[in-house]
Structure 1
Amino acid sequence: MVEDRTATQVIVVGAGPVGLMLAGELRLAGADVVVLEKLTAPTTESRASTLHARTMEILDSRGLLRPLGAVPNDPRGHFGGIPLDLTLPGRHPGQWKVPQTRIEELLGEWARDLGADIRRGHELTGLTVTADHADAAVRLPDGTTKFYRAAYVVGCDGENSAVRRLGGFGFPGADATRELLRADVAGIDIPDRRFQRLAGGLAIAARRPDGVTRVMVHEFGARPRGTQPRFQDIADSWKRVTGEDIGHGTPLWVNSFGDASRQAVRYRDQRLFLAGDAAHQKMPIGGQALNLGLQDAVNLGWKLAAQVRGRAPDGLLDSYHDERHAVGRRTLSNIRAQAMLLLGSAEVDAVRQVFAELAGESENVRTHLAGMISGLDIRYDVGPGRHPLLGRRLPHGDITVNGSTVTTASLLRTGRGVLLLLPGDEARREALRALAAPYADLVDTVTATSASGLSEDITPDTGALLVRPDSHVVWADSENTDITTALNRWFGRPPRAHRTPAVRRDPAPVRAPASATAKKNRRTHMSRLMGKTALVTGSSRGMGRATALRLAQEGALVAVHYSASREAADEVVALIEKDGGRAFAVRAELGVDGDVHELFLGLENGLRERTGNTDLDILVNNAGAMGGVKPEDTTPEQFDRLFAINAKAPFFLIQRALKNMPDGGRIINITSGLTRFANPDEIAYAMTKGAVDQLALHYAKLLGPRNITINSVAPGITRNDNPVFAMPEVVEQMAQLSAFNRVGEPEDVADVVAFLATDEARWITGSFVDATGGTLLG
Structure 2
Amino acid sequence: MDVLDSDVVIVGAGPVGLMLAGELRLGGADVVVVERRTEPTTESRASTLHARTMEILAARGLLDRFGSLPHHTMGHFGGIPLDLTLPGPYPGQWKAPQVRTEAILQDWALSLGARLRRGHELTALTLHPDAVEAQVSGPAGPLRISARYVVGCDGEHSTVRRLLGAQFPGQDAGRELIRADIDGIDIPARHFQRLERGLAIAARNPQGVTRVMVHEFDGPAGHRTGDPEFADIRDAWRRVTGEDISHGTPIWVNAFGDASRRLAAYRHGRVLFAGDAAHQQMPIGGQALNLGLQDAVNLGWKLALHLTGRAPDNLLDTYHAERHAVGRRVLGNINAQAALLLGGPEVNPLRAVLAELITHEPARRHLAGMISGLDIRYDVDASGHPLLGARLAHDHPMRSGRGLLIDAYGDPEHHALLRATAAPWADRVDTVAAEPDSLGPLPGPDAVLVRPDGHVAWIASAGPPGPQPLVAALHTWCGGPAHPGHTRTTTGHHTPVERRHDMSRLNGKTALVTGSSRGIGRGIATRLAREGALVAVHCSTGVPTAEEVVASIEKEGGRAFVVQAELGVPGDVHELFLALEQGLKERTGSADLDIVVNNAGVMGGVSVEDTTPEKFDRLFAVNARAPFFVIQRALTNLTEGGRIINISSGLTRVANPDEIAYAMSKGALEQIALHFARFLAPRGITVNSVAPGITRNGSPVFDIPEAVEQMAQLSAFGRVGEPQDVADVVAFLASDDARWVTGAFIDASGGTLLG
TM-score normalised by L of structure 1: 0.68
Counterpart selection for 2:183 from 175, 181, 186: 186
Secondary structure of 1:139's aligned partner: strand
Q: Does structure 1 conserve the Cα–Cα contact (< 8 Å) formed by 2:582 and 2:591?
A: no
Q: Structure 1 residues 715 and 51, CA, compared in 2 at 3 Å: closer, same or farther?
A: farther
Say yes or no: does 1:218 pair with 2:215.
yes
Partner SS, residue 559 of structure 1: helix
1:258 aligned partner, one-letter code: G
Q: Go from structure 1 to structure 2 and tell me whether the alpha carbon gap of 1:353 and 1:245 turns closer, same or farther (over 3 Å shift).
A: same
Change (3 A) 1:513 1:110: closer
SS at match of 2:261: strand
User: 1:449 Cα deviation (Å)?
Assistant: 3.5
| Residue equivalent to 1:165 | 162
Q: What does 1:121-520 align with in structure 2 at a 5 Å threshold?
A: 121-141=119-139, 144-222=141-219, 223-224=221-222, 226=224, 227-360=226-359, 362-396=360-394, 407-408=395-396, 410=397, 412-452=398-438, 454-457=439-442, 459-460=443-444, 462-478=445-461, 480=466, 482-496=469-483, 501=502, 503-504=504-505, 507=508
Query: When the two structures are aligned, how many residues end up with a matched partner?
Result: 580
Contact 2:399/2:587 (8 A) holds in 1: no
Contact 2:4 2:146 in 1 (8 A): yes
Which residue matches 1:732?
none
Question: 2:232 & 2:125 partners in 1: Cα distance?
Answer: 39
Measured in 1, the distance between the counterparts of 2:696 and 2:258 equals 62
Asked if 2 retains the 8 angstrom alpha-carbon contact of 1:127 and 1:134, the reply is yes
Corresponding position of 1:652: none
Match of 2:621 in 1: 665
In 1, are the aligned partners of 2:61 and 2:586 still within 8 Å (CA)? Answer: no
Deviations 1:656-706 (A, max 9, x none): xx9xx96622289xxxxxxxxxxxxxxxxxxxxxxxxxxxxxxxx9xx99x
8 Å Cα contact 1:17-1:294 kept in structure 2: yes
Instruction: Give, in angstroms, the shift of residue 712 of structure 1.
Output: 12
**How far apart are the structure 1 equivalents of 2:124 and 2:284?**
33
Alpha-carbon distance, 1:424 to partner:
3.6
- 2:10–2:31 contact (8 Å) kept in structure 1: yes
CA distance in 2, matches of 1:157, 1:244: 37
Deviation at 1:748, TM superposition (A): 6.1
Aligned residue runs from structure 1 range 693-708, under 5 A: none
Within 2, Cα distance between the matches of 1:168 and 1:620? Answer: 61
Report which stretch shifted further, 68-77 or 379-388.
Answer: 379-388
Contact 1:49 1:100 in 2 (8 A): yes
- Once the two structures are TM-superposed, the CA of residue 130 in structure 1 deviates from its matched residue by 1.0
Distance 2:44 2:601 in 1: 44
> For 2:582 and 2:20, how far apart are their aligned partners in 1?
18
- Which residue does 1:642 correspond to in 2? none
Deviation at 1:133, TM superposition (A): 0.2
Offset of residue 446 of structure 1: 1.3
Please give the alpha-carbon distance, in whole angstroms, between the structure 2 residues aligned to 1:745 and 1:196.
Answer: 70
1:726 corresponds to which residue? none
When residues 323 and 126 of structure 1 are mapped into structure 2, their CA distance, relative to the original with a 3 A threshold, is: same
Q: State the AA in 2 paired with 1:456.
A: P
How far off its partner does 1:471 sit? 1.0
For residues 16 and 547 of structure 1, do their structure 2 counterparts lie closer, same or farther at Cα, with a shift above 3 Å needed?
A: closer
Of 91, 94, 97, 2:95 maps to: 97
* Alignment correspondent of 1:107: 105
Q: Shift of the alpha carbon at 1:4?
A: 5.4
Bigger Rg, structure 1 or 2? 2
* Paired AA for residue 41 in structure 1: E
Q: Deviations over 1:198-257 (max 9, x none)?
A: 000000000111111000000102122514211111011101110100011111110010
Q: Distance in 1 between matches of 2:427 and 2:478?
A: 10
**CA deviation after TM superposition for structure 1 residue 443, in Å:** 1.0
Question: In structure 2, what is the Cα distance between the partners aligned to 1:199 and 1:334?
Answer: 25
SS of 1:463's partner is strand
SS in 2 for 1:166: helix
Displacement of 1:450 in angstroms is 4.1
- Retained in 1: the 8 A contact 2:174–2:223? no
1:111 alignment partner, SS class: helix
Helix, strand or coil for the counterpart of 1:67?
A: helix
Contact 1:511 1:572 in 2 (8 A): no
Q: Secondary structure at the match of 1:477?
A: strand
| Partner of residue 62 from structure 1, selected from 60, 65, 68 | 60
The Cα of 1:5 is off from its aligned counterpart by 2.3
Q: CA deviation at 1:18?
A: 0.2
Match of 1:561, SS state, is: helix
Listed one character per residue, the Cα deviations across residues 418-458 of structure 1 (whole Å, up to 9, x for unaligned) are 11111344323321211111111111111224454x4332x
* 1:122/1:98 CA distance change after superposition, 3 Å: same
Distance 1:110 1:363, change over 3 A: same
Distance 1:138 1:236 in 2: 41
Asked if 1 retains the 8 angstrom alpha-carbon contact of 2:53 and 2:294, the reply is yes
**Structure 1 alignment gaps of length 5 or more:** 397-406, 515-521, 523-533, 584-616, 622-657, 669-700, 717-737, 752-759, 762-769, 772-778
- C-alpha separation between the residues in 2 aligned to 1:560 and 1:748? 25
From the superposition, tell whether residues 22 and 542 of structure 1 become closer, same or farther in structure 2 (CA, over 3 Å): closer
Identity across the alignment (%): 53
Q: Which amino acid aligns with 2:621?
A: G
SS of 1:419's equivalent in the other structure is strand
- Amino acid of the structure 2 residue aligned with 1:274: F
Question: Which amino acid letter does the alignment assign opposite residue 559 of structure 1?
Answer: F
- Cα distance in structure 2, aligned partners of 1:472 and 1:715: 48
Deviation (angstroms), 1:570: 6.3
User: What RMSD over aligned residues (CA atoms) do the two structures have, in Å?
Assistant: 4.0
Q: Is the 8 A contact 1:46 1:253 kept in 2?
A: no
Residues 416, 713 of structure 1: alpha-carbon distance in 2 compared, 3 angstrom cutoff? farther
- Aligned partner of 1:574 in structure 2 is 592
Contact 1:154 1:272 survives alignment (8 Å) = yes
For the 8 Å contact 1:316–1:490, the answer to whether it is kept is: yes
Q: Counterparts of 2:38 and 2:563 in 1: how far apart (Å)? A: 40
Instruction: Determine the C-alpha separation between the residues in 1 that align with 2:601 and 2:24.
Output: 30
AA partner of residue 430 (structure 2): D
